Structure 1
């Protein structure tokens, strides 16, 4: 997914999606529930890390979600920094 031209993203709480403009009138929809369900949490409450990221930094969420192990690595890093 390194060749995608990420231009703008926003979180839509109604549909629980990150909507990413990837150029030329093309929008990519990332369904957070589906992507978040692939992450293994040490504590179930750690899902808040992903929803905060989607809401506050949707472009970063999209880039992590579309990388190989990005969302898992992000949650693992947040746990490491917070413990």
Structure 2
């Protein structure tokens, strides 16, 4: 994956449960949340709420974490540590 993507704008699209990112290169990147979330191991199944909150409130951060190996897992683990 190209780590030099320039994310200009991102939004959560509830109809498709995905993050749509404008990369600033006349192209968009679509990140399917269901697919990305399925790679995360949850201590408690209700912890998935952390990822839905992240996708809805800060879609660019969700996109950046989803593109990093274990980025979403590390996020959920950190949220569990703080709570």
**Same fold judged by TM-score > 0.5?**
yes
Alignment of 1:18-29 (within 5 A): 18-29=19-30
Q: Which moved more, 1:52-61 or 1:16-25?
A: 16-25
Matched, 1:14 2:21: no
Listed as ranges, the gaps of 5+ residues in structure 2 are none
Give 2:50's aligned residue.
49
Q: CA–CA distance in 2 between the matches of 1:50 and 1:24?
A: 27
Listed as ranges, the gaps of 5+ residues in structure 1 are none
Alignment of 1:61-76 (within 5 A): 61-76=62-77
Alignment RMSD:
0.7
Q: CA–CA distance in 2 between the matches of 1:69 and 1:29?
A: 19
**What TM-score, normalized by structure 2, do the two folds share?**
0.96
Aligned length: 82
Give 2:37's aligned residue.
36
Moved over 6 A (4+): none
Q: How far does the alpha carbon of each residue in 1:39-77 deviate from its partner, in whole angstroms, 9 at most, with x for none?
A: 000000000000000000000000000011100000000
